[in-house]
Structure 1
């Protein structure tokens, strides 16, 4: 009986080691997966932020271009019967449409 009980204990300890090893392996894999998902989310957020930044920069550049054109027009003069407002209205509307599209 003593040998039988010793063999049972050895088997149970071995089984416990297998269960513990499997549990630890699962936890490590789960932690690694969660970490990888977090890193991917951060990469996506950075990509979206960079795209938004580029869009805002393009709109700002366009704004500066329109302002510079308005300033040049003020020094050049306008065709007879046209005001500065008439001259810039088309560019302003296009700018506002683009800004609305970006802002949602």
Structure 2
């Protein structure tokens, strides 16, 4: 599984972020991530201090995803995760961790011809 540092290397410029009560995290610098981390300083979230959101166990991540419902920063969390293309862990109630054995996600475009 990729480390946070290797995931950031794929996404572009990074900066270290420290969220009050957590360890420093390496994240790509995006306005959405900045707004999210700023909001975290003022609220207590269900994920604060817990590891279930990044657990290796899918059942633990499912419990974590349900705990996100009603969180004050749910929308900001989802926007931040989308802006950095997070691929692992639970963000805004969505488990972004690929399922073991699942085919990779692909995008197909269908063109109409006249």
Q: TM-score range by the shorter chain?
A: under 0.3
Give the structure with the higher percent helix.
1
TM-score (normalised: structure 1):
0.23
Higher RCO (CA < 8 A, seq sep 6+): 1
User: Whose Rg is larger?
Assistant: 1
The answer to which structure has the higher strand fraction is: 2
